[in-house]
Structure 1
C-alpha cells in the first residue's frame, strides 16, 4: 500500500508542471515537497490538495495504519521512558502524577521518540521542576515518503487526543496546565490534538510548523491559533520547510524567521528548521530570548521592528497570559543562542 501511494504521488508530482518555475511560490500556489535524498519536488496546489483529500478518505477508513506509542519521563525516571497506554493499570503502575503539569512532545518526519529534540525538550522541562513529560512516538513519521506522513497527521492527532482525554477522565490530569509541543509535522499533529480533546488544551507550541502540503488558508487542516487557549509558534525556516506567515497567537521570528545564523550552506533548510527545537529547549531552561514587538510579520521578517526589547521572551511559560502578535528575536550563531542574561 505504501509503495502504491508513493508511486502515485511521484506520478502526480511529475505531471504537475503547469506553473513555470518563475511563477512558483512555495506555500501559495504549490509546494516544494521534501524527498528522502534531501531534494525537493514541486507540485501545484490544486492537484496536491485533491490527492490529499482522496488519501485522507482512505486513511479514515483504515483500521489502524497510524501506530502511536507514549513514553513517560519524570524526575524519577528522567533518562529512561516508561511506555504507557490508555488503561488505568498502565497509568497507575507508572510515575504519572496528576498533581504535576503535563507536557506532550511530538516529533516530526523521519524521527522517533529517541530523537535529540525530544531529549533536549524533556531535559529542559524536568530541569524546571516536577512535570509529566510524555514523548509521542508515531511510526508513520518514519515513512521515507513525506506525503504519506502528512496523510497520517489527522489520525495521529486524534490518537494523541484520545490519550489526553483518558488522562483527564481517568487519571485526574488537568487541561489547565497542559502543553502540547510539536516540531514540523508534529506541530500539526499537536493542532489536531487540540481540535479533538474534550475541552480546551491550555497551550500548544508549534516549532517551525511544516509548510509542504499544508495550506495557510485552511486552518482546519493545520495547526491553528484557535487549537488551544494559547498557541505559540517559533518559525525558523519560513517559506522553506516551515511556514513564514504567523501560525500562533504569539508568532516568533528568530533572525527574521527564514534562516538561522550558524547554519552555513543550509541548502535544504534542515539546520534552520531544527533550530526551533534547540531554541525552545534553551528558552525553557534559561528564559533568555529577548524579543522586539513588530507591527506585522513582514516587519519581523525584514528585521524592522526597532531596537527596543519588549517585556516578552520567546518560549516563556508566562506567554499564555500576555502575548499576542508577531515578534522579532535576535539570536546568536552558537549556544547560548539567546541574547538576554
Structure 2
C-alpha cells in the first residue's frame, strides 16, 4: 500500500509540469479532471497514461490489487444481483444463460454497482426480453482521489476481459451479441477490456483509449477488433467533463453535445454528464431519439444541420456497425427526452 501511495504522489507531482494553458486541448493532449470540491485540475495525456502503466506493474508484481466484482441480473432476478466469479461452480449455480445476449455495464468515478445508471440501463434491457445483464463494480472508482481511479482503469478492463473470455470459452457465451456499455471513466474500462485478446478478437494498433469521456459507449461489441469505429458515443458534456470532438465513427450530439436542457445551474457539468446514461436507457427501452445528420461535428455542436430527420436513431442496435458521421440529436428538457419525427 505504501508503494501504491508513493507512486500516486509521484504521478500527481508530475502533473506540476503540465502544458501551458494556451496549449491545452481537452481530450487531445490532456484532460481537465474533476475534483471533489467541484473544481478541475489539468493532467497531461502522458502523465495519465503513466498512472495506468504504474498500476499495471504494481498489480502484476502482487504489490497491490484492483477489486472487481460482477453482479448478474436476469429476468429471473431482475432486481437482486447474483455475485458471480469466473469459475465453473459460480456460473453454473447462477441464472446465467448462454443462449441469451449478454450486456456488461460499467460505472464511472465515485459510483458503484448500486448507482442509478446501472439500475436504469439494467431495467431497460430486461424490459426488452431475456438478457444476461452483468454490472461491473470496481472499488477503486470510489476513491476520492481521481488519480487513484485512473490508475485502476487498465487493470479493471483486463478483469472484465477475463470474465468475458471465461464465459465464452467455458459456457459458450456468444461474442456476436455481446455489448460492453461504459459511462465516464467506465467507458475507458470498456476500452481496455476491448484491447485484451479474446476468443474472436485481436487488439488493433489503431485503437486508442480515451478518458475521461462524457459518453456512454453505445453497445461496444468485442466480436471484432476493437477500433474507434466500434464506438457510437452519446456526447452530452463535451469540453467540460468529456470530449467535444467525435470519438467514434458515428457520434451523437444531444442538444449540441455541450450542455443539456433541464440542467439548470450546472456549474460542474455533472447533470449534463449524467444525461448520457439517462438518454441511453430511454433509447434502449423506447427507441425514440430521432437524429439529424450533420456535415461535421462543428455543425452538430452549433445546431447547423438543418431540420430533416435521418433514418438513424440514437442508441439503436445497428449503430456500432452501420452508422458513420456526426448527428445532432434534439432532446426535451424532461422525460421522455427523445424526439421523433
TM-score, normalised via structure 2 length: 0.87
**1-structure distance, mates of 2:11, 2:256:** 33
Report what 2:293 is aligned to. 293
> Please, which runs of 5 or more residues in structure 1 have no aligned partner?
202-208, 213-224
**2-structure distance, mates of 1:89, 1:110:** 32
Report what 1:302 is aligned to. 302
Measure how far apart 1:126 and its partner are.
0.3
- Structure 2 residue matching 1:175: 3-state secondary structure: coil
The CA RMSD over aligned residues, in Å, is: 2.4
The 5 A counterparts of 1:175-324 are: 175-196=175-196, 197-200=198-201, 210-211=211-212, 226-227=226-227, 230-324=230-324
Measure how far apart 1:52 and its partner are.
5.3
Contact 1:68–1:156 (8 Å) recurs in 2: yes
**2-structure distance, mates of 1:50, 1:210:** 13
Report what 1:157 is aligned to. 157
Report what 1:42 is aligned to. 42
- Structure 2 residue matching 1:36: 3-state secondary structure: coil
Contact 1:104–1:134 (8 Å) recurs in 2: yes
Between 1:57-66 and 1:168-177, the stretch displaced more is 57-66
Deviation string, structure 1 residues 190-234 (Cα, Å, up to 9, x no partner) = 111111122249xxxxxxx7438xxxxxxxxxxxx9348832111
Contact 2:33–2:42 (8 Å) recurs in 1: yes
> Please, which runs of 5 or more residues in structure 2 have no aligned partner?
203-209, 214-224
- Structure 1 residue matching 2:186: 3-state secondary structure: helix
TM-score, normalised via structure 1 length: 0.87
Contact 1:195–1:227 (8 Å) recurs in 2: no
Measure how far apart 1:18 and its partner are.
5.7
The 5 A counterparts of 1:112-123 are: 112-123=112-123
- Structure 1 residue matching 2:134: 3-state secondary structure: strand
Contact 2:234–2:276 (8 Å) recurs in 1: yes
**2-structure distance, mates of 1:135, 1:53:** 25
- Structure 1 residue matching 2:284: 3-state secondary structure: helix
**1-structure distance, mates of 2:157, 2:46:** 25
Count how many residue pairs are aligned between Structure 1 and Structure 2: 321
Report what 1:73 is aligned to. 73
Residues 30 and 318 (structure 1 numbering): CA distance in 2 closer, same or farther, change over 3 Å? closer
Measure how far apart 1:116 and its partner are.
0.4
Deviation string, structure 1 residues 303-322 (Cα, Å, up to 9, x no partner) = 11111000000001232452
**2-structure distance, mates of 1:46, 1:92:** 43
Measure how far apart 1:265 and its partner are.
1.7
Contact 1:108–1:141 (8 Å) recurs in 2: yes
Measure how far apart 1:285 and its partner are.
0.5
Q: 2:13 aligns with which of 11, 14, 34?
A: 11
Residues 53 and 79 (structure 1 numbering): CA distance in 2 closer, same or farther, change over 3 Å? closer
Report what 2:86 is aligned to. 86
**2-structure distance, mates of 1:109, 1:31:** 15
Measure how far apart 1:259 and its partner are.
1.1
**2-structure distance, mates of 1:268, 1:103:** 30
